[in-house]
Amino acid sequence: MQSEPLNLRNLNRDELTSAVARFGIGPDVASRIFARVHRDGAAGFPPGSVRGLSHAAGAALDAACVWPEPEVLERRQAADGFLKYLFKFPDGREIEAVRIPLPAPEAARALKQRRRAGQAAPLEALPTAKYTVCLSSQVGCALACDFCATGRLGGIRSLKTWEILAQHRAIAAEADHPVRGAVFMGMGEPFLNYENVIRAARILSDPAGPAISAKAISISTAGVLPAIRRFTATDTSHTVSAPTSTG
């Protein structure tokens, strides 16, 4: 029986290490493969692309792996610098993500002081120093909160880990400043897609991956109590900041 195609973009470092072990690849090389996939956003393993990966193992991985990608249907930029992306996945479902501009902390503190002193213009803007990304976790949402337009779609499906990470990867690749944060506040209720959201957060914060600080990753929830209890009972402090409630 032919095995299912392997999507390494769905796997955190431990899972990837286990998945590639059957190709005779040890943990050290597996960590470099993880970095190529999740830090560099690369696909495939041509000769010389991963130090220590033999040509035979690389060819076997290439034959086993798939590299699905979303299509960017639209980019829409607001006057305040926010940039909204519309993505379409291979099954035809669409979601949105947003690139959020942030100033340097020292510039923000200086502006705050000028405002207190009455020396700042009413709508004074600061130059962008970095970005955070607002990520979707589901297509539609079953909770139908009054304040949220996504709920009008109903619950359609949860996003896979690679579909969450693909939003970050596409946005970071086009950004003129580094992406230093992530917030799960896009379409969907993150804690109704717990496994994929936490796995994506772990990959985003992995030092061999995008290396976003855990303190700069937030999960917003309408209040899914079983998942909140599960989160607080698990050692996730190195992965993501505490969830925030929108309920």
Domain positions in the chain: 8-64, 71-245
pLDDT digits (tens, 9 = 90+) for 22-61: 999 999 999 999 999 999 999 999 999 999 999 999 999 9
Report, as ranges of residue numbers, the positions in the chain whose pLDDT lies below 70: 1-2, 235-247
Kindly state the tokens that stand for 202: 């772990």
Overall pTM > 0.85: yes
Helix (H, G, I), strand (E, B) or coil at 179: strand
Q: What is the pLDDT of residue 223?
A: 87
Q: Is residue 94 a contact partner of residue 79, using CB atoms and an 8 Å limit?
A: no
pLDDT of res. 242: 56
Q: What is the CATH architecture of 71-245? A: Alpha-Beta Barrel (3.20)
- C-alpha 163/C-alpha 158 separation (Å) is 10
pLDDT on residue 75: 98
What is the H or E stretch that residue 58 is in?
helix 55-64
Segment 127-158, tens digit of pLDDT: 899 999 999 999 999 998 888 889 889 999 99
User: Is 229 in contact with 191 (CB distance < 8 Å)?
Assistant: no
